[in-house]
Amino acid sequence: MSRSEKTPSPEGQEPAPPGAGRRRRGGTTILPALRTAQVEPVRIKSDEKAPDEQDEMAIILHDPEGFAPQPAVLSPEAFALASLFDGRRTAREIVILFEEKYGAEIEVEQVHHLADELDEVLFLASPRFQEKLRNSILKYLTMPVRPMTHAGENQGYPEDPQKLRETVAAYFAAQDGPGALPKTGPAERHRVPAVILPHLDPRVGGATYAHAYKAILEDCQADLFVILGVGHQGTGDGDFVVSTKPFATPFGTVPVAQGLAARLQEATGVEPALAEYLHWREFSVEFQAVFLRTLLHEHAGRDFEIVPVLCGPVEPYLPEGKSPGRNPVHDERFAPFVERLREELEKSNRRWCVMASVDLSHVGPDFHDMTSMTERLLPPVRRGDQRLLAQIEALNADAFYFEIARTKNSRHWDGVLAILALLGVGRDRFKSGRLLHYSQWLKPTKSVVSVAAMAFDQE
């Protein structure tokens, strides 16, 4: 059922014998679960098909964690079969369920053949994958610097320094950008101690990034940036995960404020090895590290350090209507960390800036909504976002949270805790917020993602 009979094994890894990821081969074998993957349906055009024939469909699986050596390409039938691999079913149970759901007969050996192919390219949670995962994590933990994971062709930003410089300058000069890059040198004042900005792929959200970074270049004298990203791969059992590893960028390494980061890492209660692992392939902090290095250090000649923090989802707070709150005794995870961060920044005697690296609404079938997205649905999404952004501008954390809770976060804002943490740190310090830019990225029929740039003033 796979579109290819043979898929090469990962580089440097000996092929496992057939069935290595399972307890024993046969109809009673328990098959490993299919790992979480990004699913991309594609049409395969053929010049040889008859005029009345339709294009073939294929399903491409992408590994968001980056362990698979290449995408897996499956026929729709093979993907339907693979979707039944949940780690609890035997091969024979999968055959029975497949025939019941789809009315098509298959053999147990076909199930094993597909499992072998998926296991070979690390799309099953099998012993082969677990060993690969373990070895990769151990290697990463020994690295002194977090490597770039989203640089290069067809990824978030160019790996070549000159191309990166030109690309970032083009975001400023874009039609909806803030204009040419500000002059080099230090900012004249420290008006802006916090910003909200996207972590959307800069290739589609670059102008919105530029609006936020213009405010940093012109009105922020910080040499310490706390980056509150979003843990798309999870945050363990906590709301916050802190890394102490410096970040590699095309222009060199972005240093971390080691003492501060280590104290905050300890305050989260997340085991350090797990904390570092969760930051490994996450892009929401990486993109900001790259922009900061390019604009502050290379363009403006300013030295700085960062504290990388990933924030978890707000959904665990929603069922009981329980707000993360601003009182340290209200919640054992969220509020104590925010208070600790406030205290650490105050006693650092440094000029600092808190950056909430977040996207706003995520709606459409790509995010498990039933409605096909078209341009006529952009205004309702905008109106919903504007209601929430107005509360953030007014520094009204409670009203912002309770609007999210009222709708059960139906538009899937992924940075709610990061924004609440930013507002918590700025309590009694920020005077107001200023919306600098808002935009929406439409993938016709599939999704809309909205982003914003906002600056917070302390004077």
Q: Are 119 and 198 contained in the same domain?
A: no
Q: Specify the CATH number for the domain of residue 415.
A: 3.40.830.10
Average pLDDT, integer, range 59-71: 88
At residue 325, the pLDDT reads: 64
At residue 3, the pLDDT reads: 41
pLDDT grade, residue 359 (50/70/90)?
very high
Q: Are 69 and 177 contained in the same domain?
A: no
Q: Are 51 and 183 contained in the same domain?
A: no
**Does the residue 5 lie in any domain?**
no
On the question of pLDDT at 24 being above 80, the answer is no
pLDDT in tens, 121-176: 999 999 999 998 889 889 999 999 999 999 998 889 999 999 999 999 999 999 99
Of 10-24, 95-109, 214-228, 367-381, the one with minimum mean pLDDT is 10-24
* Chain centroid, CA 110 distance in Å: 35
Q: Which residues of 353-381 are buried (b: 16+ CB within 10 A; e: fewer)?
A: bbbbbbbbbbbbebbebeeebeeebeeeb
- Rounded Cα–Cα distance for residues 287 and 202 (Å): 8
Alpha-carbon torsion 96, 100, 102, 105, what sign? Answer: positive
DSSP 95-141: HHHHHHHH-----HHHHHHHHHHHHHTT-B-SHHHHHHHHHHHHHHH
On the question of pLDDT at 5 being above 60, the answer is no
Closest CA to 15 of 128, 109, 137: 128
At residue 369, the pLDDT reads: 86
At residue 67, the pLDDT reads: 86
Average pLDDT, integer, range 235-255: 94
Of 25-29, 337-341, 400-404, the one with minimum mean pLDDT is 25-29
At residue 26, the pLDDT reads: 57
Last residue of a domain, one of 94, 109, 137: 137
Report the mean per-residue pLDDT for the chain.
Answer: 89
On the question of pLDDT at 96 being above 90, the answer is yes
**Does the residue 288 lie in any domain?**
yes
Structure-model confidence comparison of residues 359 and 44, the more confident one: 359
**Does the residue 334 lie in any domain?**
yes
At residue 55, the pLDDT reads: 67
Closest CA to 455 of 206, 174, 190, 216: 216
Cα dist. 66→15, 61, 82, 282 in Å? Answer: 19, 12, 20, 11
On the question of pLDDT at 12 being above 60, the answer is no
- Rounded Cα–Cα distance for residues 371 and 444 (Å): 11
**Does the residue 23 lie in any domain?**
no
Last residue of a domain, one of 92, 120, 137: 137
At residue 187, the pLDDT reads: 86
pLDDT grade, residue 48 (50/70/90)?
low
**Does the residue 381 lie in any domain?**
yes
pLDDT grade, residue 64 (50/70/90)?
confident
pLDDT in tens, 437-446: 999 999 998 8
Q: Specify the CATH number for the domain of residue 58.
A: 1.10.10
Domain count of the fold of the chain: 2
Region class of 62: left (phi > 0), else alpha (psi between -120 and 50), else beta: beta
At residue 20, the pLDDT reads: 43
- Rounded Cα–Cα distance for residues 447 and 359 (Å): 13
At residue 23, the pLDDT reads: 43
Q: What percent of the chain has pLDDT over 70?
A: 90
Q: How many residues does the chain have?
A: 459
Q: Are 120 and 153 contained in the same domain?
A: no
pLDDT in tens, 272-294: 999 999 999 999 999 999 999 99
Q: Are 111 and 227 contained in the same domain?
A: no
Average pLDDT, integer, range 76-90: 95
pLDDT in tens, 301-343: 999 999 999 999 998 888 866 678 654 444 678 989 999 999 9
Q: Domain range holding 328?
A: 146-457
Last residue of a domain, one of 90, 107, 137: 137
**Does the residue 22 lie in any domain?**
no
On the question of pLDDT at 52 being above 80, the answer is no
Q: Are 371 and 392 contained in the same domain?
A: yes
Q: Are 320 and 453 contained in the same domain?
A: yes
Cα dist. 456→343, 396, 421, 446 in Å? Answer: 19, 13, 14, 33
Q: Are 133 and 150 contained in the same domain?
A: no
